[in-house]
Structure 1
Amino acid sequence: MATRLVDDTGFDPYDEGELDDSWRQQPMGPAYCTEPTLDELPAALATADRVKDTLVRDSMPERLAALPANPTLDDVVEMSRAAHR
């Protein structure tokens, strides 16, 4: 039912599994603000790491300050992707 609702609103539903794994989608994880395609999403979620993602999150103020004065969505997505390379 929920996936049908997501699909009906124009988005691609993806069932990540159990609630215990929902932390893999947390802010500054490899699937967050990186705009993965539906095909890329499983790999992004699989590479989530609680320790690394916390370090990435803590580095965000510095990373954001390095962006241009009026960053585009592409700038922010690239910054987020670069944080996980």
Structure 2
Amino acid sequence: MAMSLVDGTGFDPYDAGILADSWRQQPNSPAYCTELTLDELPAALAAADRVKDAAIRDSLPEHLAALPATAAVDDVVEMNRAAHR
């Protein structure tokens, strides 16, 4: 039912697994705010690393501060993607 509600709002639903694995979608994981396609999402979820992602998350204020005042959404998405290259 939830999947059909998501689909009905125009988004592509994806079952990312059990609640215990929800950390794979937390801030500064490879899947978070990176505007991936549905085909790219499984690999990003699999690449999540609790220790590495926590370090990236903790460096976020420094990276955000380095963005220009005129930064757009695309700039933030690129910043998040670059953190996992």
Q: 1:49 aligns to what?
A: 49
Cα RMSD for the two superposed structures: 0.6
* 2:8 maps to 1:8: yes
Q: Secondary structure at the match of 2:43?
A: helix
Matches within 5 A, 1:1-85: 1-85=1-85
Which letter maps to 1:11? Answer: F
Cα shift readout 1:7-31 (whole Å, capped 9, x = no counterpart): 0000000001111111100011100
Please give the alpha-carbon distance, in whole angstroms, between the structure 2 residues aligned to 1:6 and 1:24: 20
Residue 41 of structure 1: how far off its partner (Å): 0.2
Report the number of matched residues.
Answer: 85
Which letter maps to 1:80? Answer: N
Which consecutive unaligned segments of at least 5 residues does structure 2 have? none
Q: How high is the TM-score relative to the length of structure 1?
A: 0.97
Please give the alpha-carbon distance, in whole angstroms, between the structure 1 residues aligned to 2:71 and 2:33: 14
Please give the alpha-carbon distance, in whole angstroms, between the structure 2 residues aligned to 1:36 and 1:82: 13
The percent of aligned pairs where both chains have the same amino acid is 76
Cα shift readout 1:22-79 (whole Å, capped 9, x = no counterpart): 1100011100011111000000000000000000001111100111112101100000
Q: How high is the TM-score relative to the length of structure 2?
A: 0.97
Please give the alpha-carbon distance, in whole angstroms, between the structure 2 residues aligned to 1:17 and 1:57: 22
